[in-house]
Structure 1
Amino acid sequence: MARIGRLAFLEVLTLLWTLSRGDTDVLCVFMESCMLPCSFRGGSDVIIHWTQMKTRQSFVHAYYINQNVLAHQDQRFRGRTSLFEEQLSAGNASLLLREVQIQDQGRYKCFTDVFHANEDSFVNVKVDAPVREVHIQQEGERITCSSEGIYPEPNLTWTASPSSGVKLRSTTIVQPSQRELYNISSSVTHSPSDAGLVYNCTVSSASGGKTASLSSRLKSSEQRHRSGGEETCVFNASCILPCGEEADDVEVIHWHHFYEEKKYIVHSYFKKVDHLENQDRRYKNRTSLVEDRNTKRRTSLRLMRVQIRDQGRYECYTSNSGKPSKSYVTLHVDAPVDSVSVRREGNSTTCSAEGIYPQPQLTWSTEPPSNVTPRGDPAVQQTEDQLYSITSSLTLSDGDRSLSYSCNVSTRSNWRKVTPRQYFYNGTNIEIPCRASSASSQDFSLIWRYNRSEIIVSRTLHSVADNVSDQWKQQVKEVSESGNLILQNLTPQQGGIYTCELRQAGNGLVTENWMLITQTPTRQSERSVSPKVRGIVVAVVLLIYITVVGLIISQTICKTRGNPSTDSVHGVRDRRRSAESENSSSPEATSMV
Structure 2
Amino acid sequence: MTVMMKVFQVLLLLNFVWTLTRGDIDVSCQFGETCVFPCRFSPGHHILIHWHLNLTVQVHSFFDDQDQLGQQDQQFKGRTSLFLDQILEGNASLLLTGVKVKDEGRYQCYTSTMEEDATKSYVNVKLTAPLQKINMTQTKNLIICSSDEIYPKPHLSWSISPPSSRTFQNKTTVQKTEKHLYNISSSLTLSDSEEDLDHICTISTPSKQRRASWRRRHSVTIISGEATISCSALDSSLKGLSLVWRFNQREKIVTKNEDDEHRVSEEWKQHVKDVSESGRLTLQHLSADHEGTYTCEVSNDGDTSMAQISLRLAEGKDNSHGGIVAAIVILPIIGLVIYCIGTKLKRVDHKIPETQSQSPSVKIISGEATISCSSLDSSLKGLCLVWRFNQSEIIVTKNEDDEHRVSEEWKQHVKDVSESGRLTLQHLSADHEGTYTCEVSSDGDTSMAQISLRLAEGKVVEK
TM-score (norm 1): 0.39
- Choose between structure 1 and 2: higher helix proportion: 1
TM-score (norm 2): 0.49
